A and B are shown apart, each in its own frame.
Chain A
Amino acid sequence: MALSGLDIYKLLPKTNCRKCGYSTCLAFAMALAKKQVVLDKCPSINPEVKGTLEQASLPPIRLVTIGVGDNKVDVGNETVMFRHEEKFHHPTAIGFIIDSNVGDADFENKIKLIDSLNFERVGQVIKVNLIALRQSGDSTDFVDKVRKVSELSSLALVLMSSDIEALKGALEICSKQKPLIYAATEQNISDFVGLAKTYSVPLVICADELEKIEELSQKANQEGLADIVLDTGIKSITKKIEDLTYLRRLSLKKKKRSLGYPIVALVENDDPFQEAIEAGTYISKYASIVLIKTVESWQTLALLTLRQNIYTDPQKPLQVEAKAYSIGQVTEQSPVMVTTNFSLTYYTVLGEVEASKIPSYILCVDTEGMSVLTAWAAEKFTPEKISDSLNKSGIKDKVNHKRIIIPGYVSVMSGDLEEKSGCEIIVGPKEASGLPSFLKKI
């Protein structure tokens, strides 16, 4: 956790020698706390203090990167317990566990299917992140499958095995792709840390008890490994929620550096509904990585959508460009609907207009991403703003009528808007779901 200027000042030489460019040590300390200057500017600082200050400036939960290039995933570096306090920063990486003993054809199909799992929602592409290959049986087969998967897919990898020789073989093939190694346990910690260091790849440390996790991560850290991910093993959903919550609290509120790492949760259930519900729980509750077994597009779509919701910045709603959108084969007679540029509002209206099969224009007014009612209350969705958009968007030239449809919730502005815009105002339904029947009637 960041130190205050005064905390830093206590550790400085207090000679006010000005070599740092500041007139006093206190001024330097204040600047340092605000990250306006780097510590090295003071030549007189003692190395021990330097260590303390450097430690203190590290984020409470380490950022760990898995993979390289376009498909690398960053996890960790979270700063809050609840999304309304700021936001959750790095969306949960979602991946699939594949056992190495599946037949070649099945294996290839599965990888292709996983690779295809990306969707577009409210203007964003949402996609899966990881393939976790787990050694089941023969180590040569495992290494062989690792080679195959790194050829077939560019997704980041997790290598799951307790066999260090097999992992070495696999890392010889793919260490440049920075896979995550799963997992070091009490029995093999030194060997696995050595392996992760040699190939400079991140490593999962797994133990049931928090105390044991702390002991192992300290050990790994002392041996020089920084990129660590934690796992508290397979347990009941409730115990897992407690582990995830407690680890987040301990790292953020109790400054437990040895627990300040991203957390992975494994979910395997033959019932895809129970598997999804459990995975969804951990996405909401602090897991940085969730690995599941089922590969089904309906399940993945639901989980990716949940992740998109939970990791949306509460201060910055998703927006679409403020302009006139034409939906379908529009003509000069097509109806014109006005709404806000809040993504969710736009895409909801869009969905209903598409469903109505009536070609239409949707004019999105720039409301800084607020929904209709909020924008109206905040005076971002006013008759002035709307008539301004009507003029600027060029919509008036595209149609040969002067009728515009406004959301039912803002019917009170009809008169005013009619005057300002010179258009005829038609009050539409309050909810977008009423649009198809409404559009058919007019």
Chain B
Amino acid sequence: MLKELAQEKWSGKINSINIGATKEEGGSRTSVVKIGGQATLPFIFNDGDIPHRPVIAAEVWDIAPNDWSSTLNSELEDVYSDPVSWSKKLIDEFKVDLICLKLQGAHPDLGDRTPTQEVKLVKDIISNVGVPLIVIGCGDDSKDNLILPACTEATKGEKCLFGSAVQDNYKTLVAACQADGHNIIAESPIDINIAKQLNILIHEMGFGLDKIVINPTVGALGYGLEYAYSIMERARLAALTGDKMVAQPFICFSGPEAWRAKEAKASIEEHPEWGKELERGVIWEVLTSATFLQSGADILVMRHPKAISTVKGYITKLMEIK
């Protein structure tokens, strides 16, 4: 049979990771998310096992974003001021699998919110929503080293996913996640060697390889998407042929990246030849996200409700094997 001739059997597979813990498991989540475990390239079911579907996390900020496009604002503006309602809206109405809370407001230039304020917010979200939580720092290393450990401690036992550990600032976060039983995001700048090196460094601190998720720092459609796409393909091929140091699931911030693109943000008056504004923004997020699913994304972080529901429908179709 030609199908058998074409089949490829791999010796390695991607690590499985559980995010979120139920009451029985020592947390308080009403649902948990399982990702990874693939023994084949994306959606080639005939070659090997694909135990879990890719999942979508909705990005929620601790402060109201003031530079998001009008297409996003018109959907989400009413909940910007309240991260709990923001989370609930996307969970209840659009069925996202996780909430990705970005503590943007902790940044010294963007409000300099204190660890106490961020801990209170994280606890508020934990007690008001049932899905597992991803928590991302503000990007300022020294500030993140203050707020993130406070948040890992406040959510001890919930098996969240915390980010991001980077090559020159990973120790504090690794130690905090280790102490409080969380998973970690290892972020590398579109470079497979750095991704691997960072995993080794984190692992050398005694942190389990099965609790790391790789953020390969993707670019948007039209803005270097192909670089991360190929880095992810290379990492997957290495993992499937046995390299355990890159055998981690991927998290792709496809939504935030897509909405930085001019094509997603420009008004119809600026670029009439590009077509309808709303649809253009949404398709930019949709196509950026969908393309990374094809290079192996396990978690997509997304923004626009319409884009989320479109990609969710696509994932459902991808996982139908008949």
Interface residues of A (CB under 8 A from B): 82-84, 119, 121, 210-211, 214, 236-239, 241-242, 245-247, 249-250, 254, 256, 259, 272-274, 276-278, 280-281, 284-285, 296-303, 305-306, 308-310, 312, 314, 344, 348, 351, 373, 433
Q: Please report which residues of chain B, range 270-313, place their CB below 8 angstroms from some CB of chain A when the two chains form the complex.
A: 273-276, 279-280, 282-284, 286-287, 290-291, 294-295, 306, 310-311, 313
Flag if A301 contacts B291 (CB, 8 Å). Answer: no
Within 8 Å by CB of A305, from B222, B260, B295, B317, lies: B222
Please determine whether B3 and A210 come into contact, CB atoms closer than 8 angstroms: yes
Cβ contact within 8 Å between B321 and A238? yes
Q: Closest residue of chain A to B225, judged by CB? A: A309
In whole angstroms, what is the CA distance A241 to B47 when docked? 12
Q: Are A84 and B318 in contact (CB under 8 A)?
A: no
Interface residue? B123 (CB, 8 A): no
- Chain B residues within 8 Å of A302, by CB: 221, 263, 280, 283-284, 287
Asked whether B276 lies within 8 Å of A298 as measured between CB atoms, the reply is: yes
Chain A residues with Cβ under 8 A from B260's Cβ? 433
Q: Are A284 and B294 in contact (CB under 8 A)?
A: yes
A237: contacting residue among B276, B279, B317, CB under 8 A: B317
Asked whether A246 lies within 8 Å of B262 as measured between CB atoms, the reply is: no
Inter-chain pairs besides A236-B322, A241-B43, A242-B43, 9 sampled, C-beta below 8 Å: A83-B226, A238-B43, A241-B294, A284-B229, A298-B274, A302-B287, A306-B221, A309-B222, A314-B230
* 23 residue pairs from A and B, CB less than 8 Å apart: A214-B2, A236-B317, A236-B320, A237-B314, A238-B318, A246-B6, A249-B8, A259-B2, A273-B286, A273-B310, A277-B311, A278-B314, A280-B287, A281-B290, A297-B274, A301-B263, A302-B221, A302-B283, A302-B284, A302-B287, A303-B287, A344-B224, A351-B262
User: B68: CB under 8 A from chain A?
Assistant: no
List residues of chain A with CB within 8 A of the CB of B225: 306, 309
Quick check: B230 and A83 within 8 Å, CB to CB? yes
B residues less than 8 Å from A273 (CB atoms): 279, 282-283, 286, 306, 310
> What residue of chain B has the Cβ atom nearest to residue A436's Cβ?
B67
Q: Which residue of B lies closest to A240 (CB)?
A: B43
Cβ of B46 under 8 Å from chain A: yes
B2–A211 CB distance below 8 A: yes
Which residue in chain B gives the minimum CB-CB distance to A282?
A: B294
Q: Does B52 contact A (CB under 8 A)?
A: no
Let me know if B1 is at the binding interface, CB within 8 A. yes
Which chain A residue has the least Cβ–Cβ distance from B306?
A273
Answer yes or no: B150 CB below 8 A from chain A CBs.
no
Residue B234 CB within 8 A of the other chain:
yes
Contact partner of A276 among B222, B223, B233, B287, CB < 8 A?
A: B287
**Given the complex of chains A and B, what is the CA–CA distance between A299 and B225 in angstroms?**
17
CA distance A425 to B118 in the complex (A): 38
B44 at the interface (CB under 8 A from A): yes
Q: How far is the CA of A31 from the CA of B208 in the complex (A)?
A: 54
Q: Min CB distance, B138 to chain A, in Å?
A: 15
Closest 3 CB pairs of A and B: A298-B275, A297-B275, A246-B6
Count chain B residues whose beta carbon lies closer than 8 angstroms to a beta carbon of A: 52
Complex interface: chain B residues within 8 A of A119 (CB)? 273-274
Give chain A nearest CB distance to B41 CB in angstroms.
Answer: 8
Beta-carbon contact of A306 and B291 below 8 Å: yes
Contact A276:B45 (CB < 8 A) given known A250-B2, A297-B275: no
**A259 contacts which chain B residues (CB < 8 A)?**
2
Provide the residues of chain B in CB contact with A305, threshold 8 Å: 221-222, 263
Q: Is the CB of A237 within 8 A of B274?
A: no
Interface positions of B from 1 to 18, Cβ below 8 Å from A: 1-3, 5-6, 8
Q: A119-B273, A246-B6, A284-B291 are in contact. Are A296 and B279 (CB under 8 A)?
A: yes
State how many angstroms separate the Cβ of B104 from the closest Cβ of chain A: 14
> Are B294 and A281 in touch, CB under 8 angstroms?
yes
With A84-B234, A297-B273 as given contacts, are A242 and B45 in contact (CB-CB < 8 Å)?
yes
Contact residue among B44, B280, B319 (Cβ-Cβ distance under 8 Å from A245) = B44
Chain A residue with the shortest CB-CB distance to B42: A241
Quote the shortest CB–CB distance from A241 to chain B (angstroms).
Answer: 5
Residues of B near A245 (CB, < 8 A) are 6, 41, 44
Instruction: Say whether chain B's binding surface is mostly helix, strand, loop, or mixed.
Output: helix
> Min CB distance, A346 to chain B, in Å?
12
Across-interface contacts of B41 in A (CB, < 8 A): 245
Contact between B6 and A301 (Cβ–Cβ < 8 Å)? no
Bitwise interface map of B from 241 to 253 toward A, beta carbon under 8 Å scored 1, else 0 = 0000000000000
Which B residues lie within 8 Å of A84 (CB)? 230, 233-234
Write out the residue numbers on chain A whose beta carbons fall within 8 Å of the beta carbon of B8: 249
Give complex CA distance A280, B285 in Å: 13
A254 touches B5 (CB 8 A): yes
B177 to chain A, nearest CB (A): 27
Q: How far is the CA of A211 from the CA of B6 in the complex (A)?
A: 12
Rounded to whole angstroms, the CA-CA distance of A250 and B3 in the bound complex is: 9
Taking CB as reference atom, which chain B residue is nearest A305? B222
- 8 Å CB contact of B6 from A121, A250, A296: A250
Determine if B43 and A301 form an interchain contact, defined as CB atoms under 8 angstroms apart: no
| Docked-complex contact B274 and A301, CB < 8 angstroms | yes
**Closest residue of chain B to A437, judged by CB?**
B67
Whether the Cβ atoms of B230 and A309 lie closer than 8 Å is no
Does B26 interact with chain A (Cβ within 8 Å)? no
Roughly how many angstroms separate A220 CA and B279 CA in the complex, as a whole number?
A: 44
A113 to chain B, nearest CB (A): 11
Q: Which residues of B contact A296 (CB under 8 A)?
A: 275-276, 279
Q: B51: which A residues are within 8 A, CB to CB?
A: none
* Least distance between B50 CB and chain A CB atoms (Å): 10
* B residues less than 8 Å from A254 (CB atoms): 5-6
A242 near B46 (CB under 8 angstroms)? yes
Instruction: Knowing A273-B283, A302-B287, say if A309 contacts B6 (CB, 8 Å).
Output: no
- Do A241 and B44 touch (CB < 8 A)? yes
Q: A141 CA to B317 CA in the complex, in Å?
A: 37
Q: Smallest CB–CB gap between A419 and chain B, Å?
A: 28
The reply on B189 being an interface residue by CB < 8 A is: yes
Cβ A277 vs Cβ B314 within 8 A: yes
Q: Is B237 an interface residue (CB 8 A)?
A: yes
Q: Which residue of A lies closest to B231 (CB)?
A: A84
A256 proximity list for chain B (CB < 8 A): 2
Task: Report yes or no: A344 in contact with B287, Cβ–Cβ below 8 A.
Answer: no
Cα(A296)–Cα(B275), bound, Å: 7
Residue of A nearest to B226 (CB): A309
Chain B residues, Cβ within 8 Å of A242: 43-46
Distance between Cα atoms of A84 and B189 in the complex (Å): 17
How far apart are A303's CB and chain B's nearest CB, in angstroms?
8
Kindly provide the distance from the CB of B146 to the nearest chain A CB, expressed in whole angstroms: 22
Q: Contact at B2–A210, with CB atoms within 8 Å?
A: yes
- B230 and A276 within 8 A (CB): no
